[in-house]
Amino acid sequence: MGVGVALSTLTTGVVAFAAAVPAQAASPTHAFPSHQTYQVGVMPSASEATRDAAVEKQYDSWKANYLVHGCASNEYYVSTKGDGDATNNGPVSEGQGYGMNIVPLMAGYDANAQTEFNGLWQLVKDHEDQYGLMQWQLDGKSCNYYSGGTPDGATDGDLDIGYGLILADQQWGGYSSDAKTWLTNFWNHDVAPDGHLKCEDDGPNTDTRPSDHMIDHLRAFAAYDTSHDWNKVVQRTEAVDSSLVSTYSSSYGLLSDFVVGANGSSPAPAPANYQENQPDNIVGYNSIRVPWHMGTDALLNGATTSAFELSEAQKWSACAKKVSGDNPANVYPHLNLNCTGYNTSDVAEEAGDSIGPSAMAAGDQAWTDKIWNFLQTNPYGDGYYGETIKTLVMIVMAGDYWSPAASSAPANDFSVSDTPATASVVAGASATATVSTAVTSGSAESVTLAAAGLPSGATAAFSPASVTAGGSSTLTVTTAATTPAGSYPVTVTGSAASGSHTATFTVTVTASGGSCTPAQLLTNPGFESGATGWTQSSTLGFTPITTATSAEPAHSGSYIAWFNGNATKDTDTIAQSVTIPSGCAATLTYWLHVDSTENTTTAKPDTFTVQVLNSGGTVLGTVGSFSNLNAASGYTQQTANLSSWAGQTVTLKYIGSETDTSGGTTDFVIDDLALNTQ
């Protein structure tokens, strides 16, 4: 190996270097066990002391088998022993990142933790690629990069290494400069221009890998490094995942191993053999990590900040429970996106292990306990990959996973977005958009809204003018008959104590003078002719368009469209194709009533969405989104602006989805629709 030190072989077969290592310099500020109170969910029923002892036992085993003192006397690496991910059991950046997370979390129990962390970090620094990130694959003997082509980095390893540096800085201090330099390199080369995470630092700006979507890490980056807009990365990552789930796995929340078109409005599962030799339009050995990451973020950050992640955790946990027959040992590492086994002959420990944080976040006590007990075994003799994931999952499930973001400022932040982002109006008419805010870190704060960049003669009004982060407001831009034709980007600004964020609402004004004939475009908008003009479906075989009852009366007339409410898993849809004339402003209205007996005040197991699709079935936009939390007496009129699709033939689709995971059922009922142009 050429490092001039004596070698000895441990009883585990792992090579260790006999040279001395630097002494530990500081006492940990979050010594293990660092018991945390998570924001949502349940803990395993085992006692706190039992859980801590189990983590210590697993850590001892992991360290003895996979933490190697090499390639130099001041270096450590995580061996891929047992999985063959690198020649001669060498390290990969993914494993190095895992190690740089595990070791700081175990400081206090492991007296040598800082020395080991410094060695892990030293190896990274000694094996950086052209962008200052870690060469993703090294030989275990020569410690040279051996994969083909120019040495490059992998996003998951780079992300975990950055998070590990922040953990170390909060644990011992002294790593701030290294951490911020690393995050700058990561921002410059692993983040695409639109904010989504690339698969590797020298890869295209078009793809992403959902197993890299470690939202809790990104939130920590946002709190720690204010020189880059990490909240943009959080928002874009959530947008990509939300679009994928809505289009390809709305009932189960599953995400494929690789994704293409991540920089556009219609991300999609990658085709077969993309990046790796497998059918990538499924859950595989990459995406089995998604429920671990989603569940962890939900546990740390709660139902408001992590609403999407909590919903994903609940769905993924329910799917794994269903497909495995309530047995963690039978969670398959290959799943179709409709929650059926793609390959039921393949089993792996880490597939069941990774569900643990999601089961906790979902509040499923019995399922959580089964997974915790399963974690104490290794039924398939898994190597580095399974045992390393197990170690991190056990730290989370034991309640010892602390977030470095909690020690960083600023504590509060938010985001601003608008739906739709564009609208077309005839001069003298109005355009509307829903301006939504979300808590991205810390606590909710008051956000004041304003608009700038209006065309001549136009005015803007918000209802309400200020919201608490997490709330929404309706923006109405009213043009004058004299407003010149043109496209105007209106800047929507949300201002709070923590700072300001913006979104753009582009209003296209066309000249008045009869270019649009006012009309109501929908066929049979009140369903009084039954299903005429509509297509409908139900996974349970029911027809949503039906006669009203005393339990669910019509808003007017005798017919309604009634979605879900069967106390079992179900997806119901109705749809109609419509052509919106060019030069017209178009407004969709409908009356909605929601009943629910779901046993939750935070979760959204039952959802109702309104989508606009093109002729090929691609979702162009979601113009309405509701859940069991919107239950109320009577009907409420809902409005959506469809002007941005003027000149197109689109499909208007209503989708009710019930997961039956929170102990109740939800009825979504609509009536008296209209799509009016002016």
Same domain (yes/no): 92, 200: no
Asked if the structure places residue 13 within a domain, the reply is: no
Q: Please give the helix or strand (H or E) that residue 77 lies within, else none.
A: strand 77-78
Same domain (yes/no): 78, 137: yes
pLDDT at 439: 80
Q: Which two tokens stand for residue 45?
A: 């029923």
Q: Do the Cβ atoms of 567 and 660 come closer than 8 Å?
A: yes
SS3 content of the chain, % helix, strand, coil (to 5): 30, 25, 45
Same domain (yes/no): 260, 278: yes
Percent of the chain with pLDDT over 90: 77
Confidence of residue 662 (pLDDT cuts 50, 70, 90): low
Same domain (yes/no): 277, 377: yes
**Amino acid residing at 269:** P
Burial class (CB in 10 A: 0-12, 13-18, 19+), 132: middle
DSSP-assigned states of every residue in 286-331: TGGGHHHHHHHHHHHHHHHHTHHHHHHHHHHHHHHHHHTTS-GGG-
Give the residues across from 473 on adjacent strands: 435
Structural domain that includes position 166: 70-190
**DSSP state letter for 24:** P
Last residue of a domain, one of 510, 537, 572: 510
Cis peptide bond prior to 71, omega within 30° of 0? yes
536's CB contacts (< 8 A; 6+ apart) are 543, 544, 545, 561, 572, 573, 574, 575
Asked if the structure places residue 50 within a domain, the reply is: no
What's the number of CA atoms in the CB half-sphere (13 Å) around residue 35?
8
DSSP-assigned states of every residue in 492-510: EEEEETTEEEEEEEEEEEE
Asked if the structure places residue 299 within a domain, the reply is: yes
Confidence of residue 8 (pLDDT cuts 50, 70, 90): very low
Query: Which sign, positive or negative, has the C-alpha torsion 257, 85, 295, 469?
Result: negative
Asked if the structure places residue 534 within a domain, the reply is: yes
pLDDT at 529: 96
Confidence of residue 409 (pLDDT cuts 50, 70, 90): very low
Question: In angstroms, what CA-CA distances link 214 with 156, 257, 318, 322, 459?
Answer: 9, 14, 21, 25, 41
pLDDT at 408: 46
pLDDT at 411: 54
Q: Per residue in 96-118, pLDDT tens?
A: 999 999 999 999 999 999 999 99
Cα torsion for 542, 544, 549, 554, to the nearest 10°? 180
Q: Strands 559-564, 545-547: parallel, antiparallel or unpaired by DSSP?
A: antiparallel
Same domain (yes/no): 526, 630: yes
**DSSP state letter for 271:** P
Q: Strands 559-564, 430-441: parallel, antiparallel or unpaired by DSSP?
A: unpaired
What's the number of CA atoms in the CB half-sphere (13 Å) around residue 299?
30
Give the residues across from 495 on adjacent strands: 448, 500
pLDDT at 546: 96
Q: Per residue in 637-652, pLDDT tens?
A: 999 999 889 889 999 9
Residue 2 has pLDDT above 50, yes or no: no
Residue that is written with structure tokens 């690496």 in the block: 77
Confidence of residue 407 (pLDDT cuts 50, 70, 90): low
- How many folded domains does the chain comprise? 4
Same domain (yes/no): 222, 283: yes
Q: CA-to-CA distance for 409 and 643, rounded, in angstroms?
A: 41
583 Ramachandran zone, left/alpha/beta (phi>0; psi -120 to 50): left
- Output the domain CATH number for residue 524: 2.60.120.260
514's CB contacts (< 8 A; 6+ apart) are none
- Output the domain CATH number for residue 490: 2.60.40.10
Residue 596 has pLDDT above 50, yes or no: yes
Q: Do the Cβ atoms of 400 and 52 come closer than 8 Å?
A: yes
Mean per-residue pLDDT for 150-161?
A: 94
Same domain (yes/no): 180, 196: no
- Output the domain CATH number for residue 320: 1.50.10.10
pTM passes above 0.75 = no
Q: Do the Cβ atoms of 427 and 583 come closer than 8 Å?
A: no
Mean per-residue pLDDT for 139-150?
A: 87
Same domain (yes/no): 167, 198: no
pLDDT at 512: 65
DSSP-assigned states of every residue in 441-483: ESS--EEEEEEE-PPTT-EEEEESSEEEBTBEEEEEEE--TTP
Asked if the structure places residue 289 within a domain, the reply is: yes
Burial class (CB in 10 A: 0-12, 13-18, 19+), 639: middle
**Amino acid residing at 153:** G
Residue that is written with structure tokens 């991205």 in the block: 440
Last residue of a domain, one of 383, 402, 421: 402
Q: Per residue in 420-476, pLDDT tens?
A: 888 888 888 888 899 999 887 666 789 999 999 999 999 999 999 999 988 899 999
Asked if the structure places residue 61 within a domain, the reply is: no
Q: Do the Cβ atoms of 591 and 624 come closer than 8 Å?
A: no
Residue 119 has pLDDT above 50, yes or no: yes
Q: Please give the helix or strand (H or E) that residue 178 lies within, else none.
A: helix 176-190
Which residues form the catalytic set?
A: 94, 156
Mean per-residue pLDDT for 659-672?
A: 88
Q: Show the CA angle centred on residue 35, arms to residues 31 and 38, nearest 5°.
A: 135
Same domain (yes/no): 117, 235: no
More confident residue, 514 or 185: 185
Asked if the structure places residue 33 within a domain, the reply is: no
Confidence of residue 226 (pLDDT cuts 50, 70, 90): very high
**Amino acid residing at 565:** G
Q: CA-to-CA distance for 204 and 327, rounded, in angstroms?
A: 39
Q: CA-to-CA distance for 368 and 397, rounded, in angstroms?
A: 9
Confidence of residue 40 (pLDDT cuts 50, 70, 90): very high
Query: Which sign, positive or negative, has the C-alpha torsion 164, 158, 312, 475?
Result: positive
More confident residue, 419 or 52: 52
Same domain (yes/no): 100, 159: yes
Percent of the chain with pLDDT over 70: 94
Q: Which two tokens stand for residue 95?
A: 């494993």
Same domain (yes/no): 209, 338: yes
**Cβ neighbour number for residue 434 with a 10 Å cutoff:** 18
Mean per-residue pLDDT for 627-640?
A: 93
Same domain (yes/no): 324, 339: yes
Q: Do the Cβ atoms of 666 and 595 come closer than 8 Å?
A: yes
Average pLDDT, the chain: 90
Q: CA-to-CA distance for 200 and 135, rounded, in angstroms?
A: 11
Mean per-residue pLDDT for 272-300?
A: 92
Q: Which two tokens stand for residue 497?
A: 């104590």
Last residue of a domain, one of 482, 510, 538: 510
